[in-house]
Chain A
Amino acid sequence: SQTIHQWPATLVQPVGSPLSLECTVEGTSNPNLYWYRQAAGRGLQLLFYSVGIGQISSEVPQNLSASRPQDRQFILSSKKLLLSDSGFYLCAWSVTFIYNEQFFGPGTRLTVL
Chain B
Amino acid sequence: GDSVTQMEGPVTLSEEAFLTINCTYTATGYPSLFWYVQYPGEGLQLLLKATKADDKGSNKGFEATYRKETTSFHLEKGSVQVSDSAVYFCALSQNTGNQFYFGTGTSLTVIP
The verdict on A96 contacting chain B, using a C-beta distance below 8 Å, is yes
B46 near A99 with CB under 8 A, answer no
Which residue of B49, B94, B99, B104 contacts A43 across the interface (Cβ within 8 Å)? Answer: B104
Q: Which residue of A lies closest to B105 (CB)?
A: A43
Tell me if B95 and A43 are in contact (CB < 8 A): no
| Contact A103-B46, Cβ < 8 Å, known A43-B89, A43-B102, A43-B103 | yes
The majority secondary structure among interface residues of chain A is strand
Interface size for A (C-beta < 8 A) is: 24
- Do A42 and B42 touch across chains, with their CB atoms under 8 A apart? no
- CB A68 to nearest CB in B, in angstroms, measures 14
Complex Cα gap A106–B42 (Å): 5
Q: How many residues of B contact A (CB 8 A)?
A: 25
Q: Is the CB of B105 within 8 A of A99?
A: no
Q: Kindly list chain B residues whose C-beta atoms are within 8 Å of the C-beta of A99.
A: 32, 49, 51, 93, 95
Q: Is residue B29 contacting chain A, with contact meaning CB distance below 8 A?
A: no
- B86, chain A: closest CB distance, angstroms: 14
Q: Contact at A100–B32, with CB atoms within 8 Å?
A: yes
Residue in chain B with minimal CB distance to A43: B104
Spell out B's residues near A (CB within 8 Å): 32, 34, 36, 41-46, 49, 51, 89, 91, 93-100, 102-105
